[in-house]
Amino acid sequence: MALEDAKTQVDTAFTRKGLKGLAFENAFGGATSFLRRTLTKDLTGVELAITGVPFDQAVSHRTGTRFGPRAIREASCLQPYDPPHGWPTSPLEEMAIVDYGDLAFDYARVADFPAALTAHIRTILAAGAGSVTLGGDHYITFPILQAYAEKFGPVSLIHFDAHSDLWPDDDLTRIDHGTMFYKAVRQGYVDPGHSVQIGIRTTTEDYLGVNVITAREAHETGVAAVVARVKEIVGDRPAYLTFDIDALDPAFAPGTGTPVWGGLASWQAAAILRDLAGINLVGGDVVEVSPPYDTTGATAIAGAHVAHELICLYHWARTRR
């Protein structure tokens, strides 16, 4: 069946009938959408919306993550042929998922950006769907968390990163990808005692009560210990998972703005994400993929896999918990 479908399927981002099903068109051709999902602004009947935020005006070093959503979508074209390996479910066949396209914003009015993104996510949540967002730099998580906190109250944040992004900054008008979780805690969007950061390997003076699993601890204690601790911290609370691609070591993800050595290997991140099945995931994002520095495409491929795992976790939370 797949071979026959491959002979006829093309541009399924626009030609697909219905919102469910695997896709078999050539990975190297056709209109690009995330996992070949229907590209639409219609949220009727949608359970999960994938959306892109091509914003990188908050970076402290190398720009380029504005091209991340496009690169992640292209890399995802390798994945929609089969159910995800290791999962006993098939979210693409069982759940109504769409590519909701990118956020529209005026790049020259940066101060207006946060409100535009919060409204964008608020629209998705109001329709009864969850969101998985493709960044963009990591600041984007802050406006997203505002929309989630409005609906769920303070969420448990599961944060993969080399950096805590908790550096003090009490100026809400500053747009900075290194201070937004300080603000998220201060604004009450995040419940710090039931939140956890994984892969940290830079210095922060005050974690504001957020639990931390350093990269070295993850290496030395192993996947099972990390997963057990995360589940103990988060429990059954609504959880939002944000994955900065620099959580991975630069050997696995060179295409990012602020790389730090000593990070997670791809297999570690994959195993941790897979074994988090059962958490009450309400949304997530993958950020900081910077294609100009991604010479082999490996970073975008990793980003696409992370986003696919987020879909699986979201689906699992609604079918198997």
Tokens coding 68? 């991340």
Residue 304: per-residue pLDDT: 98
Q: Which residue has the tokens 């690009």?
A: 32
Write out pLDDT tens, residues 69-127.
999 999 999 999 999 999 999 999 999 999 999 999 999 999 999 999 999 999 999 99
Write out pLDDT tens, residues 24-61.
999 999 999 999 999 999 999 999 999 999 999 999 99
Write out pLDDT tens, residues 133-184.
999 999 999 999 999 999 999 999 999 999 999 999 999 999 999 999 999 9
Shortest CA distance to 144 belongs to which of 127, 162, 156, 132? 132
Structural contact between residues 167 and 84, judged by C-beta atoms closer than 8 angstroms: no
Residue 4: per-residue pLDDT: 65
Tell me the residue type at 170: D
* Superfamily holding 2-319: Ureohydrolase domain (3.40.800.10)
Cα–Cα distances (Å) from 212 to 110, 202, 230, 320, in that order, read 31, 12, 10, 28
Rounded to the nearest integer, the mean pLDDT of the chain is 96
Residue 309 pLDDT greater than 90, yes or no: yes
- Look at the chain and count its residues: 321
Write out pLDDT tens, residues 234-282.
999 999 999 999 999 999 999 999 999 999 999 999 999 999 999 999 9
- E-only strand ranges, the chain: 38-39, 48-53, 97-102, 130-135, 156-160, 196-200, 211-214, 239-244, 281-287
Write out pLDDT tens, residues 294-303.
999 999 999 9
Residue 320: per-residue pLDDT: 84
Shortest CA distance to 148 belongs to which of 120, 179, 175? 120
Of 3-17, 132-146, 217-231, least confident by mean pLDDT is 3-17
Tokens coding 262? 């000593």
Rg value, the chain, Cα:
18
Domain locations along the chain: 2-319
* Rounded distance between C-alpha atoms, residue 230 and residue 79, angstroms: 27
Shortest CA distance to 23 belongs to which of 284, 275, 308? 308
Structural contact between residues 93 and 312, judged by C-beta atoms closer than 8 angstroms: no
pLDDT tier, 321 (very low <50, low <70, confident <90, very high otherwise) = low
H/E element, 68: helix 68-76
- Share above pLDDT 90 across residues of the chain, in percent, rounded to a whole number: 97
Shortest CA distance to 20 belongs to which of 2, 43, 37, 40? 37
